[in-house]
Structures are given as C-alpha cells and as structure tokens.
Structure 1
C-alpha cells in the first residue's frame, strides 16, 4: 500500500500502518488517494447525475451549471481533499466583494442610460437605483458547493465538509405585503382586457406563474381545474415540464371565475391541448408578457410594491381566512409539506387578532364583562 507521504523513521511508518489497520477494523478507513479527484470534474458529474435526488428541473440544472462555470471556477482544479475551510472562507469573502462591485457598476451604468433617456425626453432625472448586492447569487453558489462536497463526504472521498460558514447557505425571506381584494381589483382593472381572466384564474386556483402559462383548454371541466405542468424560462427559452413538486392536482374554482372560464372557452373552438389563454395577437401568453403587463399596471396605480407572484399568495391567504385547513391549503396550492401552507394560516390568525381587537372596542356591557343595566317601562 502507499501512504500520503514519506516518513522520517521506521517507527512513524509502523505507527501509520497500525492506524490504518485500526481504521479498517472499525470500518472508517479512507484511502487518501480517493480525494485526489479535481473538484470541477466531480462537480460536473454530480450535476449531470441530478445531484442528491438524482434529477434536476431544467431551470435548476442550467442555474447550477452557470454557477459551476462562474462563481465556483476557483475550485475547479483543486483536489477534493485539498479544499480546506480556510479556502472556502477566502473564496466566500472575495466572491461577495466581486459581486457587490459588479452590482454597483451595473446600477451606475443603468442610471446613466436612464438619465440620458430622461434628458432627451425632457423628463425629470430619475433617482439612482439601488445596487444589487449579489447576496442571493452568493448564497446559491455556497449552497451548491456545500451540497457537492457533502456528497463527496458520503462517497468516502473526503473526511469532512469544509463548508463551515455559519448561516452562509440560508436566507431570511421577508414577509411579502398582503395584496387584498381591493388592491388586486384595482391592478387588474388597469391591465389590458386580455390579462383580466388569466389573473383571476391565477388568484382563484392559487397558480404559480408558470402553471398559469402552461394551462391547456382541456384542463378545465365542471368548475375544476387540473394543474399538471408548468412553463419556465431556461436560458431565455420556454420549457414545459411537470409542476414544481412533480405532482398534478385539481383545484375547484370560485363559481364566478369558473363561469367566466366556461364563457371564455365557449367563445372559440380549439383542441383540448391548445393553450387556454392567448394574447391579443393570437399567440400563447408568456411569463414575460404577463409579468410586464402586471408591473406596468401596478406602478400606474401606485401599487408597484406588489409582484405578480403575490396574486397566488393573496388567494391562499384569503382561503385560509375563509377557514381552509392546512391540509386543504396544501391540496389547493400543491405544497409538498405543511410548512409552506402554515404561512397562510399564520396570516389568517393575525387577521383574526385584528378582528378581535376591533370587536373589543364595542360599547357593549356584556362584552365588557359588566352587569347589564335593567331597563324598565315601555319601550
């Protein structure tokens, strides 16, 4: 057998052999040559084989390949066993600075172009946009690096995972502002008519944007919508796959929305597999076109803080407020676990507290815990 290095004395060599024998007896022996595989080679194979679950969605695979070719490039030629926690920390610090600097340059360039356009039109100078910090991209890169090296540990190629930066792979998702029914109606009423029904269906069936775009005419029957696919953009091209969780679901639409869908489908004839919604030019709706129409309308009415994804969230929150259980919310939303659905029940509980506080101010002696005053005489 070979050792990872030479020894100064025979005693040191014998001690090494004794340690190897002991590790083999315990079942913990790891050949030092196993970790000599370059990270880049191992990572490419890891992505090609679908990572830890054996399969990536097309968009996720493309994103991982881009991260490997860009942000994780400094590790490509390093042997897996040579990557140390210090190497990871150094890379993380430098990557954060580079991403932050690049974000500031892009923001400055975009502001310069906006100023030039405003000057030509005679408009007021626009405010400088906030620079992109790159934190989201850095988190994605670190998470990918950690996952790949975690697999290398399980494969017995390295002894421990060098990704040990506390909190680097996690992100705090700030709670989105609640889009209520009045706000939603205001935005939708401002959008061109071709988008009105798609947005209402998105709300009533709690659809993700890609699920809405992928709907076909045959997916609707008797007030119920079948959701079994999504369309996402991969390298700028639309790709239709199974839903985000890989599972199909059926969702009962609110009666008024169901009636509008039936009228919409009855107004024209097409194959069941034809797109359910078309643009004014007769082409299928797209993620980009719908998102752009939403942003324009929302900004026009002073509600630019809301994203088109908030339509789904609004529908789920209102369903929770109407009394839907966690299991019912999971079924309607297509959630794989209860954790995501509990977010909407939490919002409903907060609304319940607000309602209770409003009731508490009523001038009613019974609610206030006082004895009611006896009323005598004729009313």
Structure 2
C-alpha cells in the first residue's frame, strides 16, 4: 500500500484498488474502487488538482433526499406569492416526490430524470403543461443544490422539457362579447367589457377600486390583485411582475357602460370596489363561473369559452391593430415579449390585410410601367 500525508492507495482482497485522501483533516474514500493502481493514482491526482483549483466537490454532501431538500427549498422562499407557493407544493406532492422523493440529491441523474418525465407522459396525466411546470421546478431546486455545493451539476438537462405548449385558446368575436355582456347579470356587464377591451385579469378586476378608474382621461390603473387560494382565502398583493403594474387606455366605446356601472353597483369613495360581490366584498371565482356559464347558455355561445379567454380575445384584437411588441407588452402587463409575439403571430386577419397591401403595391408598380421577368 502506497501512502503519503495526503492520499493513499491500497489493494483490496478482491484485487481492485481503493483510493483515499484527506480533506480538512478527515480521510475520505473515492466513490468507487479501481481496476488498476494507475487508475486509483489518476483519481487522486485529479482530486488534488480540483482541491488546488477550488473546484473540488464533496461527494457526500448530496446525501440529503430530494424530499427533505425540497421542503427546505420552499421554506427558504418566504416571499413566494401565495398561489405560487400552493402551485409548487402541489407539483412536488403530486408529480415529483412520489417517484423521486426518496432519492438523495447525489443519486439524481439525467437518465433518472428522463425516465421520470417519460413515465408522466406515458401515464397521460397530468397534462403536458403541468409536466413542463414540474420539470422546471425540479430544475430550479437542483440548480439551488448546485449553488449550495451539494451536487456538482444539475441533472435536469433535457432539451425542450421545460417548454410549455398550451393548446390555443378560443377567442370571441366582438359581437359575441356583447352578446355575453347583454346576457350576463347586470352587475357583471362592465366587467366583461373591461376584461376584453382592456385585457384585465380576473384577479385584477377583483381588486379594482374607484380611484383606479379615470373616466375623464379614459384610463384604468392596475395596481394590485386579489389571489384566491385553494381554501378560499383571498390574498391582496401586487401583480406578479413589475410589468403587471400598468395603466391601460379605455376604449371610448366602453366608457358609457363603465359610467352606468359605477353609478348602479359601486359605493361612493375612492376605495370602493368597482366590482363588489353581492355582499359588498370581493367576488368569488365560483360566483363568476356560475353567472358566466348561464350567460354563455343564454347567448348560445360554446361553453368551452372561459372568462379568461376574454383577455385573450382583447389581446388578439390589440395585436390586429398593428400594435408593436412593446406596446402589446405594456397593455397586457407582460415582462417578456413571448406572449406579445404569440398574439402578433396569431392574427390571421391582420396578415391577410398585409398581403392585400403588398398586392396593391405590386399593382401600382406594374401599372406604372415596371415589367416583370
């Protein structure tokens, strides 16, 4: 057996070689044995080089299980938005930890992650969007483990696994929007119009107050929103991103409906809710869903249309006007151009208009005497 003050190699009864080295005064064994003494010596040399470069990783650091570490990971993020915390907890509990929770971080490998994801896809549930969210969460947890020097690299390296490809949601025509507004209970009429033509989310509408609506200057300010947790608790807070805090111009065609709504359904005072529930408190999601379904039925509109699709409709209409990506981002309250680009690419009518204009240009050029090959 060769031995130095720092490392040693010895031959085992099996004929294989064991390498040991000392860090911070404690002896450690290589994670595997070696076929030859030369292989063991090479391991020691590489380990010594890593220590000198400051890139050495303690192979025993990642022995904590994913279940234990993920709980710590969540508790170390007290500023998570309530709904986000609920989402992460559900993804872990239902889709990640049942298969991977007992594994130590050190034993999470790319093939294991690939197999876990493939099993979710084969099972047919959850849907593709939830699988992508689960993968992104696992990637984030493992990225923190790398930062904490518990594992040397992130095992979540599957190309495309984090990308969500949600099914394209339906949009309503302007006529259908007004048919729903006419059919829905009167106290929700203006909410349907504001959700569509100003692109406000349900939580933003729920938190809207008189002081946020400036009819004189035709503007509505989005400052906060109410999130409804799974137990029914309402939590008031700012929009998800800084871009969510925005001021949106109100189309003139909607002003009269808003004026009538404020007079009929909104209490006086700057802090009065613009869209209070029947009890004067912020409305509940279940209440809106119920009146929404009744309105769709009364207006003979496909029940697959969701309230949130009104925002989708309004954003598509805004894109069809020729609004730039930055303009759409500002109106929609998005920090990333991704969604704005989707709406720009989804406007087939606008594309047809562009084609017609190109055709007109061609016609003008050819009639002016320019010949074609």
> TM-score normalized by structure 1?
0.77
Report the alpha carbon displacement of residue 49 of structure 1 after superposing the two structures with TM.
2.3
Counterpart check, 1:229 vs 2:214: no
Supply the distance in 2 between the matched residues of 1:361 and 1:35 (Cα, whole angstroms): 64
Q: 1:17 aligns with which of 37, 44, 49?
A: 44
Instruction: Give the structure with the higher percent strand.
Output: 2
Residue correspondence of structure 1 range 294-333 to structure 2 within 5 A? 294-300=292-298, 301-333=300-332
Residue by residue over 1:2-51, the C-alpha shift from the partner in whole angstroms, topping out at 9 and shown as x without a partner, is 1244757876654433221111233321111221222222211212223x
Report the alpha carbon displacement of residue 97 of structure 1 after superposing the two structures with TM.
4.8
Residue by residue over 1:171-215, the C-alpha shift from the partner in whole angstroms, topping out at 9 and shown as x without a partner, is 223333332211212222222222111111112321011111111
Q: 2:276 aligns with which of 275, 278, 283?
A: 278
Is the deviation greater in 62-71 or in 298-307? 298-307
- SS of equivalent residue, structure 1 residue 29: coil
Counterpart check, 1:86 vs 2:86: no
Report the alpha carbon displacement of residue 164 of structure 1 after superposing the two structures with TM.
3.8
Counterpart check, 1:65 vs 2:79: no
1:3 aligns to what? 29
Equivalent residues of 1:202, 1:311 under 8 A apart: yes
1:175 aligns to what? 168
Counterpart check, 1:34 vs 2:29: no
- SS of equivalent residue, structure 2 residue 29: coil
Equivalent residues of 1:231, 1:240 under 8 A apart: yes
Name stretches of at least 5 consecutive residues in structure 2 with no aligned partner.
1-21, 23-27
Equivalent residues of 1:213, 1:287 under 8 A apart: no
Aligned CA distance change for structure 1 residues 23 and 63 (closer, same or farther; 3 Å)? same
1:287 aligns to what? 285
Supply the distance in 1 between the matched residues of 2:367 and 2:240 (Cα, whole angstroms): 55
Report the alpha carbon displacement of residue 168 of structure 1 after superposing the two structures with TM.
2.8
Counterpart check, 1:187 vs 2:214: no
Equivalent residues of 1:210, 1:287 under 8 A apart: no
Is the deviation greater in 62-71 or in 197-206? 62-71
Report the alpha carbon displacement of residue 133 of structure 1 after superposing the two structures with TM.
5.3
Supply the distance in 2 between the matched residues of 1:371 and 1:77 (Cα, whole angstroms): 76
- SS of equivalent residue, structure 2 residue 221: strand
Equivalent residues of 1:59, 1:232 under 8 A apart: yes
Aligned CA distance change for structure 1 residues 58 and 42 (closer, same or farther; 3 Å)? same
Supply the distance in 1 between the matched residues of 2:42 and 2:60 (Cα, whole angstroms): 19
Supply the distance in 2 between the matched residues of 1:22 and 1:368 (Cα, whole angstroms): 71
Equivalent residues of 2:181, 2:190 under 8 A apart: no
Report the alpha carbon displacement of residue 220 of structure 1 after superposing the two structures with TM.
1.3
Aligned CA distance change for structure 1 residues 37 and 279 (closer, same or farther; 3 Å)? closer
Equivalent residues of 1:194, 1:280 under 8 A apart: no
Supply the distance in 1 between the matched residues of 2:117 and 2:160 (Cα, whole angstroms): 12
Name stretches of at least 5 consecutive residues in structure 1 with no aligned partner.
101-131, 373-379
Aligned CA distance change for structure 1 residues 7 and 198 (closer, same or farther; 3 Å)? closer
Q: 1:146 aligns with which of 109, 128, 139?
A: 139
Equivalent residues of 1:177, 1:306 under 8 A apart: yes
Aligned length: 334
1:351 aligns to what? 349
Aligned CA distance change for structure 1 residues 17 and 257 (closer, same or farther; 3 Å)? same
Supply the distance in 2 between the matched residues of 1:138 and 1:281 (Cα, whole angstroms): 39
Supply the distance in 2 between the matched residues of 1:173 and 1:94 (Cα, whole angstroms): 20
